[in-house]
Amino acid sequence: MSIVVFLTTLIVLMVMGMPIAFALMLTGVALMYQLNFFDAQLVAQNMVAGADIYPLMAVPCFILAGELMNAGGISRRIINLAVAMVGHIKGGLGYVAIAATLLLGCFSGSALADTAAVATLLIPMMRNHGYPVARSAGLIAAGGVIAPIVPPSMPFIIFGVTTNTSVSALFVAGIVPALLRALGLVIVWAMLSRNMDVKLSPKRSWPERARALTDALWALVLPVIIVGGLRGGVFTPTEAAAVAAVYALCVSLFVYREVKVSQLTALVVNAGRTTSTVMFLCAAAFVSSYMVTLADLPAQVTEFLGPMIQHPRLLMAAIMLLLLAIGNVMDLTPTILVMGPVLMPIVVMAGIDPTYFGVMFILVGTLGLIHPPVCTVLNVVCGVAKISLESATRGVWPFLLAEAILVFLFVEFPGFITVPMTWFH
């Protein structure tokens, strides 16, 4: 009965158009009534507890780092470097988009921030060179969802906090899938761009490439610092977020000098607004998460999936299909907060590595960001490119298909994710 109350309340509230944070909180309240022990003080205590979690301190720091990255010219220099290296080859600006989204993901870990930065700079350039706008928008959107699986990743932080999984292990385990996702996009783009009649960028000389590399060097150092610091045990993921924010601030203020002290207030306010949205969502979800545990919903779901527990790969495939369906109606962060605590006990019972499951969870969840109706990342690209969602959907489907195939390849061959994790240990 509890699972019926949970799902019915959540779905009805979402259909009514209620913000997901309030829907999650009221779903927890509905479960309290169903279990006959409603207590308003308990709701408040859980909301405070949901926001008062040390690893979540990384969220505002990474968001601030992303704001500084965009305002300080770091994004532009990374794209200029990619253009200098591969912009002259057939379909070169597409490869630039893939490289840029991969590299920028190492700064903010946010699909929306990275996609907006790349789309703003590259869509006009690709349009001027004769690239099909819808296909270009689709590629940039598909590249934008690399960010949530490359360290530092805010979805990994939220998943780790929600399910008590090592964030550091998630960071390291996400590196190879992120590179393979980028490689998959390169292969699909290579096939699609063969027949494109586009204007090529002039080939840069080696001195010009060296200057572009030197100019972007400060930007390229940060991912090395973060991954190296985590690998060497110098700092935790939360401390890495603070390092990223301070580094981005110093580079933007004193090296590139594109951010003035007078602009910092506006940047901090923007980061604060985004942070408040994420943190309130986490706080509200903690109410429903607490009630999910108290009502023993994982046991009810386990009973439903019981026959598959003895077959881990079949169970993973079923869960991936379930998450893909949920991605049709729910954004990534709410999906993590709602489904993470429900599914993790089942996964552990089946003997599946929690870190592997976490990476797979985020991989599938990101697909919902680029296919309707949620498709928040695709909507961002539509706004920048000034095209309809229908056009962008036609443009993104080959890349979406490639990323979906890659997910089920990881189901069949989990070693792509589990083996690199041993490097961390």
pTM of the model: 0.82
| pLDDT band with cut points at 50, 70 and 90 for residue 48 | confident
pLDDT, mean of residues 97-107: 83
Q: Of 392, 352, 420, 5, nearest to 175 (Cα)?
A: 420
The answer to whether the CB of 10 falls within 8 A of the CB of 284 is: no
Per-residue pLDDT tens digits for 359-392: 999 999 999 888 877 678 888 888 888 888 888 8
Taking the CA atoms of 221, 225, 226 and 227 in sequence, report the sign of the dihedral they define: positive
First to last CA, the chain: 43
How high is the pLDDT of residue 208? 86
- Rounded CA separation 25/354 (Å): 26
- Rounded CA separation 21/14 (Å): 10
How high is the pLDDT of residue 14? 73
pLDDT, mean of residues 270-296: 78
- Rounded CA separation 279/58 (Å): 11
- Rounded CA separation 100/202 (Å): 19
pLDDT exceeds cutoff 90 at 31: no
Q: Of 150, 148, 72, 78, nearest to 113 (Cα)?
A: 148
Q: Of 240, 227, 95, 234, nearest to 174 (Cα)?
A: 227
pLDDT, mean of residues 266-280: 84
The answer to whether the CB of 24 falls within 8 A of the CB of 288 is: yes
How high is the pLDDT of residue 189? 94
- Rounded CA separation 93/200 (Å): 9
DSSP assignment string, 298-316: HHHHHHHHGGGTT-HHHHH
How high is the pLDDT of residue 404? 92
Peptide linkage before 373 cis (omega within 30 of 0): yes
Taking the CA atoms of 334, 337, 341 and 343 in sequence, report the sign of the dihedral they define: positive
pLDDT exceeds cutoff 80 at 175: yes
| Phi, psi angles (nearest 5°) of residue 261 | -55, -35
How high is the pLDDT of residue 423? 64
Give me the helices (H) in 194-263, please: 206-231, 237-250
Six-digit token pair at 355? 């870190």
Q: Quote the percentage of the chain above a pLDDT of 90.
A: 14
Q: Of 368, 373, 378, 424, nearest to 155 (Cα)?
A: 368
The answer to whether the CB of 21 falls within 8 A of the CB of 53 is: no
How high is the pLDDT of residue 1? 64
**What is the chain's Cα-based Rg?**
22
pLDDT exceeds cutoff 80 at 316: yes
Judge residue 228's burial from the number of C-beta atoms within 10 Å of its C-beta, 0-12 exposed, 13-18 middle, 19 or more buried: exposed
Best mean pLDDT range from 125-129, 195-199, 377-381, 403-407: 403-407
Q: Which residue has the higher pLDDT, 361 or 345?
A: 361
Six-digit token pair at 219? 């930007």
Six-digit token pair at 57? 């301190």
pLDDT exceeds cutoff 70 at 424: no
How high is the pLDDT of residue 275? 81
Output the CA torsion 382→320→335→101 (10° steps). -40
Q: Quote the percentage of the chain above a pLDDT of 70.
A: 95
Q: Of 251, 227, 273, 276, nearest to 70 (Cα)?
A: 251
